[in-house]
Amino acid sequence: EADIYQTPRYLVIGTGKKITLECSQTMGHDKMYWYQQDPGMELHLIHYSYGVNSTEKGDLSSESTVSRIRTEHFPLTLESARPSHTSQYLCASSERWIAGPSSTDTQYFGPGTRLTVL
């Protein structure tokens, strides 16, 4: 079982509210990710980080922001939630890697946060 935690597991919130989804890992992994997944659909990368003070946007355009002040913590914030943000949000991490032909990116996932914006 991977040591990566997400809170809350479920969140129902009204339009316009600011929310922060928490993600923490105790494995000392450098890379962390946020994905968005709708039922029956593939995972879409919205943010990732190579390490402390590193954040990058993923493929899926997102109005959310992230921060990486500590290795173990990678919170995602929505300043003003909208119904279109309703989805499952998954946090993942992977070990330190060195870019090259032998590198791999096996990811360990948290249980997810199911967000519903009314």
Positions that interact with other proteins (CB under 8 A)? 2, 40-43, 45, 48, 58, 90-92, 97, 99, 101, 103-112, 114
Residue with Cβ nearer other proteins (14 or 104)? 104
CA distance 50 to 80: 27
For residue 80, the minimal CB distance to other proteins (Å) is: 26
- Residue 27 or 79: the one with the smaller Cβ distance to other proteins is 27
Q: How far is the CB of 116 from other proteins (least distance, A)?
A: 13
Q: How far apart are CA 77 and CA 90, in angstroms?
A: 13
Longest dimension (CA), the chain: 46
Name the residue nearer to other proteins (CB basis): 17 or 50: 50
Q: Is the peptide bond before 8 cis (omega within 30 degrees of 0)?
A: yes
DSSP-assigned beta bridge partners for residue 45: 35
Q: How far is the CB of 81 from other proteins (least distance, A)?
A: 21
Nearer to other proteins, 14 or 40 (CB): 40
114, 9 Cβ separation under 8 angstroms:
yes
CB atoms < 10 A from the CB of 110, how many? 22
The least distance separating other proteins from the CB of residue 41, rounded to whole angstroms, comes to 6
